[in-house]
Structure 1
Amino acid sequence: MKRQKRDRLERAQSRGYQAGIVGRSKEICPYQSLDARSHWLGGWREAMEVRAVNA
């Protein structure tokens, strides 16, 4: 995988994580492409698990 594409997907996951940490809904995912969307949602899910453990 090209570095540029990997960086884009890593950024999508990071932004999903940030959205999850502050408690935003997964419905606000700004990505349309399947790859970026799945990475964003993966980050969001990870953040929700962290929130559940820390609650």
Structure 2
Amino acid sequence: MKRQKRNPNDRAFHKGYVAAVEGRNHDSCPHDAGSQHQEWVNGWRQGRQDYWSGFGRAALAQRMANM
């Protein structure tokens, strides 16, 4: 069986979350506009919030694995 592709919006959210956890800037979004840009920004905000809330590396890794 072929593996289904991930939803592009879910993938953009995950990539934004990872970017925030790694400390990258908000301006590093690879999407210019549209729903993927918005999802990337939402993921970035969630990742930054988790980082500031004091999630440790283990908690962040577990959270990213569940996305």
Which TM-score bucket, shorter chain as reference?
Answer: 0.7 to 0.9
In the superposition, the TM-score normalised over structure 2's length comes to 0.69
Aligned residue in 1 for 2:45:
45
Aligned residue in 2 for 1:30:
30
In the superposition, the TM-score normalised over structure 1's length comes to 0.84
Greater relative contact order, per chain length (Cα 8 Å cut-off, separation 6+) = 1
Aligned residue in 1 for 2:59:
none
Unaligned runs of 5+ in 2: 56-67
Percent of pairs with identical residues? 27
In our comparison, the structure showing a higher alpha carbon Rg is 2
Unaligned runs of 5+ in 1: none
- The range that moved more, 28-37 or 9-18, is 28-37
CA-based RMSD of the aligned residues comes to 1.7
Aligned residue in 1 for 2:58:
none
